[in-house]
């Protein structure tokens, strides 16, 4: 069950954290796969860590904002498909 409009529940926070972790994993995998000549020992892990933290934070905020602005039926801003 979704939280009412303009409220967040514990499940929203848990799902937001899971979304943040998945975004971090995908960010790391993308960074590793897209880098030509990837070398574990010469990679700047600080840059990758910074990207992971930014992606996680952004994903968490986006998910929480979406849930905060959706009603218990999952309609964004409380508008059903027929009202949009």
pLDDT in tens, 47-65: 888 888 998 999 999 999 9
Once rounded to an integer, what is the mean pLDDT over residues 68-74? 82
In a domain, 5, yes or no: no
The mean pLDDT value of the chain amounts to 83
In a domain, 64, yes or no: yes
Whether the per-residue pLDDT at 1 is higher than 70: the answer is no
49, 32 in Cβ contact below 8 A?
Answer: no
What dihedral angle (degrees, nearest 10) is formed by the CA atoms of 69, 73, 76, 77? -60
In a domain, 53, yes or no: yes
Higher-confidence residue: 12 or 40? 12
Higher-confidence residue: 38 or 71? 71
In a domain, 51, yes or no: yes
Global pTM reads 0.74
């Amino acid at each position: 069950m979704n939280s009412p409009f303009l409220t967040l529940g514990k499940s929203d926070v848990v799902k937001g954290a899971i979304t943040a972790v998945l975004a971090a994993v995908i960010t790391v995998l993308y960074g590793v796969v897209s880098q030509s000549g990837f070398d574990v020992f010469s990679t700047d892990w600080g840059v990758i860590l910074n990207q992971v933290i930014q992606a996680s934070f952004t994903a968490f905020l986006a998910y929480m904002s979406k849930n905060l602005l959706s009603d218990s039926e999952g309609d964004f801003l409380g508008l059903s498909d027929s009202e949009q």
